[in-house]
Chain A
Amino acid sequence: MKFREIIAIVKGELITKIAKLDMDVTHISAADLMSDVLAFAEPESILLTGLCNPQVVCTAEMADIVAIIFVRDKKPPPETISLAEEERIPLVSTPYSMFEACGCLYQAGLRDIHIPDE
C-alpha cells in the first residue's frame, strides 16, 4: 500500500518536509518501547507510537523504519522533527488512539511482523 493511502486511512497530517508519499509499505509496527522496535520491527515498516522524543527517530533509523506515525494528535518537539528531516524519515500525526489507528490499518490489510506458519 502507498504511504499516501496509509496517511489517508488514519486521517494523518504530515509534519515533515520529507514526504515519500509513493513508497510502498506492507508492514506496521506499533510500540512505545523502543527496545521492542529494535528487537521486533520489520525492516521497511512504519512505526506507530505515542512517544515523541528524538530517540524515536534514532530508533527508527537504526531499525530501517521508513516512517513514523504519532498517535492521539501528538506533535513532536522541533528537535525530533529536525532529526527526522536530517535522516529523511517522514513524520505523521494522527488524531486516532494507538488502538484505533492499528485497527484501521489492520482492517486495510496491513500486518505486523511476518509470523511463520505453524
Chain B
Amino acid sequence: MGIQNNSAIPASQITRLHELVYELEISQVMTREVITVTPQTSMTEVREILQRHRISGIPVLEHGELVGIISIEDLIKALAGGEMDARVGEKMTPNPIVLSANEPLVLSVDYFNRYGFGRFPIVNEQGKMVGILTPSDVTQGLLKKLEVEYHEEEIRRYRASHIFEDVISDHTSIFLHYIIASRDFKQAGAASRNIKRTLTHLGIPRPIIRRAAIATYEAEINIIIHTDDFGGLITAEIRPDAIIIGALDLGPGIADVEQAKRRGFSTAPDWIREMGFGAGMGLTNIEKCADEMYLESPFGSRTTLRVTIYMDEHLPIGRREA
C-alpha cells in the first residue's frame, strides 16, 4: 500500500492518521500559491528566489505550461560547475512527474517514497498546475486535520459527560424518543444508531453501550417487522445509574410470549429473512443484553418492552426478571 509503517507508534494514532491519508485529497493540503520561474530565468535569480522564500525547488512554466522543475540540487551543481549564468531551461529537470489535485493523499506518500523527490507539482483535470506538494505540506495538513477533529471531539465529550454533574435536580435523566414507522426497512437502525451515538458522547463504558445498542436495535427491528400500520416508539432514558430502553407499539401483540422467546421461532415473512433477520432470536438477544427485562404483550393489543441496563459494570449480567 506504500505507507511506511512504524509499529512502535501507538496504534490508535496511526490508525486515524492512516485513515486521513485516504480521506484527504491532495488539493486539501497542497500549497496553492506557487512561485514559478521560466526557462529564461538565470541560475543567479533562482538562487535569490530560493533564499528569499526558503524553498528548495521551483516549477518552471513556459506560456503557462509546466515544462520542468529546478531544485536546490540543480543550483548546487551549477555553482560547483561555475555555470551561474546559465538559464533554467538548460539546468532544470524537464517533464517532471506530477500528481492530480483530486487524488487521495496516500498516493503522494507513495510517490515521495518511490521517487525520493522533495516536491511534486499538482495539476487539475486539464493538466494545468494548481499547486505544489512537499512532505511538509502532507505532515502539516494531517496535523491540522487531526487537531481540528480532536478539539471538536473534546468539546463534545466535555459538554456531554458533565451534564449529570451540571444539572441540579433530585432525579436527572435524559429522555430520547424515536418514532418508528412500520415496515420502513430503509430507516431501520436509525434510532439505535442515534442512541448509541448519544451514549458514546456521554462517555458511558463501551460494554454497556454495546448491550444497550444491541437490545435497542433488535427492538427497533421487531417494531418494523411486526407492527400494524401505526408503527411504534423507541425510547431511551439515560440516568446516572442505568439506561432504560423502551419499545412501545399499538399492536398486534405477541400471540405466545414463551413461544416468541424460543430461539428459532419467528413469524417474520420471507422478505425480512432475506435482510438477515426474522430468525427468531430477537427477544432472546434482548434478554441476553438486559439486566432486567419487562415484556407485556397481550395478543391483539399493545406491546410494552422495557430493558434496564445498569451502568455499574460489576453488577452480575443476567440479573433479570422473568
A residues near B (Cβ < 8 Å) are 4, 17-24, 32-36, 38-39, 43, 49, 51, 53-56, 58-59, 61-64, 87-88
Specify the main secondary structure of chain B where it touches its partner.
helix
**Identity of the chain A residue whose Cβ is nearest the Cβ of B217 in the assembled complex:** A62
Taking CB atoms and an 8 Å cut-off, the chain B residues in 147-178 that contact chain A are none
Known contacts A38-B218, A61-B193, A62-B210: does B285 contact A22 (CB below 8 Å)?
Answer: no
B273 to chain A, nearest CB (A): 9
Query: Is there a chain A Cβ closer than 8 Å to B232's Cβ?
Result: no
Known contacts A38-B285, A39-B285: does B5 contact A22 (CB below 8 Å)?
Answer: yes
Is B14 touching A35 in the complex (CB atoms < 8 A)? no
Which chain B residues lie closer than 8 Å to A61 at the CB level? 189, 193, 196, 213
Query: Is there a chain A Cβ closer than 8 Å to B144's Cβ?
Result: no
Is B277 touching A55 in the complex (CB atoms < 8 A)? yes
Which chain A residues lie closer than 8 Å to B282 at the CB level? 35
From A19, A39, A53, A62, contact of B213 by CB (8 A): A62
Is A62 touching B5 in the complex (CB atoms < 8 A)? no
A7 to chain B, nearest CB (A): 9
Is B192 touching A34 in the complex (CB atoms < 8 A)? no
Known contacts A39-B284, A58-B193: does B18 contact A19 (CB below 8 Å)?
Answer: yes
From A18, A33, A54, A62, contact of B22 by CB (8 A): A18
Is B1 touching A59 in the complex (CB atoms < 8 A)? no
Query: Is there a chain A Cβ closer than 8 Å to B188's Cβ?
Result: yes
Is B189 touching A62 in the complex (CB atoms < 8 A)? yes
Which chain A residues lie closer than 8 Å to B189 at the CB level? 54-55, 58-59, 61-62
A-B contact pairs, 24 of them (CB 8 A): A4-B1, A17-B22, A17-B104, A20-B15, A20-B18, A21-B18, A22-B5, A33-B281, A35-B218, A35-B277, A36-B281, A38-B218, A54-B189, A58-B188, A58-B189, A59-B189, A61-B196, A62-B213, A62-B216, A62-B217, A63-B210, A63-B214, A64-B206, A64-B210
Which chain A residues lie closer than 8 Å to B207 at the CB level? 43
Which chain A residues lie closer than 8 Å to B1 at the CB level? 4, 21
Instruction: Determine the distance from Cα of A54 to Cα of B218 in the docked complex, in whole angstroms.
Output: 15
A107 to chain B, nearest CB (A): 23
Range, interface on chain B: 35 or more
Which chain A residues lie closer than 8 Å to B15 at the CB level? 20, 22-23
Instruction: Determine the distance from Cα of A59 to Cα of B210 in the docked complex, in whole angstroms.
Output: 11
Instruction: Determine the distance from Cα of A38 to Cα of B285 in the docked complex, in whole angstroms.
Output: 7
From A22, A43, A53, A62, contact of B11 by CB (8 A): A22
Which chain A residues lie closer than 8 Å to B5 at the CB level? 22
Instruction: Determine the distance from Cα of A43 to Cα of B185 in the docked complex, in whole angstroms.
Output: 25
Is A35 touching B11 in the complex (CB atoms < 8 A)? no
Is A18 touching B23 in the complex (CB atoms < 8 A)? yes
Known contacts A23-B15, A59-B217: does B188 contact A39 (CB below 8 Å)?
Answer: no
Query: Is there a chain A Cβ closer than 8 Å to B321's Cβ?
Result: no
Instruction: Determine the distance from Cα of A54 to Cα of B216 in the docked complex, in whole angstroms.
Output: 17
Instruction: Determine the distance from Cα of A87 to Cα of B281 in the docked complex, in whole angstroms.
Output: 25
Instruction: Determine the distance from Cα of A33 to Cα of B276 in the docked complex, in whole angstroms.
Output: 5
User: Given contacts A17-B22, A22-B18, A55-B277, could you give 10 more A-B pairs where the C-beta distance is less than 8 Å?
Assistant: A17-B23, A23-B11, A33-B276, A34-B277, A39-B281, A58-B217, A59-B217, A62-B216, A64-B206, A64-B210
Which chain B residues lie closer than 8 Å to A64 at the CB level? 206, 210
Taking CB atoms and an 8 Å cut-off, the chain B residues in 188-212 that contact chain A are 188-189, 192-193, 196, 206-207, 210
**Identity of the chain A residue whose Cβ is nearest the Cβ of B276 in the assembled complex:** A34
Is B192 touching A62 in the complex (CB atoms < 8 A)? yes
A37 to chain B, nearest CB (A): 8
A86 to chain B, nearest CB (A): 9
Instruction: Determine the distance from Cα of A38 to Cα of B284 in the docked complex, in whole angstroms.
Output: 11
